[in-house]
Structure 1
Amino acid sequence: MYENSAAILNSLLASLSRVSSSDTPGIHIKQLANIILSVQPTAEERHFRYTIRMAYVYGQGCCYMGSCANFDDNFIGRSALDQQGMDLATRIAVTDAIYAGFPGSPQSTFSLDGSLAKRSRRRARLITEFVGSYASRKRGFTIGIVGVVSEFVKSFKEQGFNVIAFDLDPIVVGKIYGGVEVRHGISSFDDLSRCDVILATGMSLWTNTLATLVCFANAYDKPLLLYAETAAHLVPYLVGRGITAAIAEPFPFYVFGGDAVIRMYSAIQNLPHARGVICLPEI
């Protein structure tokens, strides 16, 4: 269905690019930034170390990265539809920031408050219960997690599911989280084929593994769900276009202050077209 992450972004931008920048004076890049994040929400959770690429067009777009890469601030003021020369993280953040203007219709919305530990555990429970609704309760049912979150592993196991965990971070691979050893990447399709439902992180867009997961899930008829801080605004528009459902957590995320929100999407989001041409919000 998709060759790589660039192809996924191109599919979302295909109709947007039919509008010239002169017709859309508001659709320019107003902000780019990097946030360096180091956080361990609970004593049982892994220590997350990431850089987050931020962009603002109609709202705050985000992309988690594994390292602190610089961005070209010459993109500030450029049309957000003109992404030539951008690295993948910037493209994801900018496209996400465009789609922030089209909030879609979530099936349900939940707020997260309280201490960081309380937020982390409630978030895990909400997400795993939503994913579990796509699973049969038959004995031996297996959830595949691509992008390990220890609280997710723990919550799935508490609900009686088997878990196979995958990650690309060499610091995480081979370690035990929630009683499950983390396997490397998604290189072993034998392991992935044992999973009845696959839950992947939105960061799989940045690691260029989402397209592979989409192809695999469609070929083997397995539900593929995304939980997305990366690309939280655009991921709902992939429901029915390669993924089964989406859990979106737009910025500010639960590890920051302020109100954190989880939105569940299980229905196809109509791409924001009007008579074949994009309907861009007023600025």
Structure 2
Amino acid sequence: MRTPAPTTVADLTEAVLRGAHGPDPAALHAVGAFWVRQSTQFPGTDTKYRNYYLVLRAESAFGGCCLERDQLDSAIAEELSGRSLAELLRDPRTPVRIAALDAYLALAYPHREQAQARAQLLPHGTPLERAKARDAAIAGLLDIRPGMRVGLIGVVNPLVEAIRARGGVCLPCDFNLKHTADGTEVVADMELVLAQADMVIATGMTLSNGSFDRIVEVARERGTGLVVYAQTGSAIVPRFLGHGVSAVSAEPFPFSQFSADPTPIHLYRADGLDAREAA
């Protein structure tokens, strides 16, 4: 029997705990746990991106969650290894649950085996070259018509440029930025953006701050196109494909900024077409 599509992340987590998506999570363990602090600032810019990650390894898969600076202490990495994924899926701390769910679903639904996913290798190169290639791939998932209002929840400046290049009106939203690179004001209240947007582009970090469910709910109610670029929850977001999420750029760990060698991203679309046939 086919597993019903989840409505919320909590629904998906409960289904995993019931065994509806594959192996018993109580039998799987986080063999490795990592807490990573990283920043990026490209030459000639004054924007510094600060990222904090919790990463769990279970068997052959990794689960990742980007979080706010003070959301978890770095000692978490020493605490979590050895615990079962079932235990971590019940942890009171949201980033721990997200990383565990991501690791579990990466095992249950490997990107390379999903018919709706098209793998694309980011090229060997500098951080800027690889970031541009990644953002161009994400922009390729967008179906923006001139004059369309596009909410960008989690600001990445090349995506601001991509929206405008396609004739869209960018509505940027972010907790940590006040202005985009071109000076556009960034709002902190996503409800203002969701109320106006004809399409929404969101980062997977919405999973770790708890806003993902609300964004998907609005997308379903209003029929708003929702594209998610996911390092956080790269295996979680595709479970919502066609049920609030229109397309996903899924980037599992190790993330592009941690390597100069070719690494894959997996592009999903909810149009029913096998992405490998469309490539």
Q: TM-score, normalised by structure 2?
A: 0.81
Indicate whether 1:89 and 2:95 are aligned. yes
Alignment match, 2:175: 168
Which of residues 113, 116, 132 in structure 2 aligns to 1:121? 132
**Structure 1 unpaired stretches of 5+:** 1-6, 270-283
Alignment match, 2:187: 183
On the 8 A contact 1:45/1:151 being kept in 2, the answer is no
CA RMSD of aligned residues (A): 2.5
| Shift of residue 228, structure 1, vs aligned partner | 0.3
Indicate whether 1:140 and 2:147 are aligned. yes
Alignment match, 1:260: 263
1:145-224 maps to which residues of 2 (within 5 A)?
A: 145-169=152-176, 172-173=177-178, 175-188=179-192, 191-224=193-226
CA distance in 2, matches of 1:268, 1:129: 14
CA pair 194-74 structure 1, distance change in 2 beyond 3 A:
closer
Alignment match, 2:85: 80
Alignment match, 1:108: 118
Once the two structures are superposed, residues 59-100 of structure 1 have per-residue CA deviations (whole angstroms, 9 ceiling, x without a partner) of: 111100111522274443222022333411111111101111
| Shift of residue 209, structure 1, vs aligned partner | 1.0
Percent identical pairs in the alignment equals 25
Indicate whether 1:38 and 2:49 are aligned. no
CA pair 25-91 structure 1, distance change in 2 beyond 3 A:
closer
CA distance in 2, matches of 1:79, 1:247: 28
CA distance in 1, matches of 2:202, 2:24: 37
CA distance in 1, matches of 2:122, 2:24: 39
CA pair 92-122 structure 1, distance change in 2 beyond 3 A:
same
**Structure 2 unpaired stretches of 5+:** 1-6, 273-279
CA distance in 1, matches of 2:255, 2:43: 15
On the 8 A contact 1:9/1:95 being kept in 2, the answer is no
Q: TM-score, normalised by structure 1?
A: 0.80
Structure with greater helix percent:
2
Once the two structures are superposed, residues 197-243 of structure 1 have per-residue CA deviations (whole angstroms, 9 ceiling, x without a partner) of: 10000000111111111122222221111110001122111112332
CA pair 42-250 structure 1, distance change in 2 beyond 3 A:
farther
| Shift of residue 42, structure 1, vs aligned partner | 5.5
| Shift of residue 107, structure 1, vs aligned partner | 3.5
CA distance in 1, matches of 2:190, 2:26: 42
On the 8 A contact 2:227/2:246 being kept in 1, the answer is yes
Number of residue pairs matched? 253
Helix, strand or coil at the partner of 1:177:
coil
AA partner of residue 82 (structure 2):
G
Ranges of 4+ aligned residues in structure 1 off by more than 6 Å: 22-25
CA pair 115-192 structure 1, distance change in 2 beyond 3 A:
same
CA distance in 1, matches of 2:147, 2:26: 55
| Shift of residue 194, structure 1, vs aligned partner | 2.6
CA distance in 1, matches of 2:253, 2:266: 12
| Shift of residue 106, structure 1, vs aligned partner | 3.9
| Shift of residue 56, structure 1, vs aligned partner | 1.0
| Shift of residue 37, structure 1, vs aligned partner | 0.8
Helix, strand or coil at the partner of 2:39:
strand
On the 8 A contact 2:120/2:266 being kept in 1, the answer is yes
AA partner of residue 8 (structure 1):
T
Query: 191-200 or 231-240: which moved more?
Result: 191-200
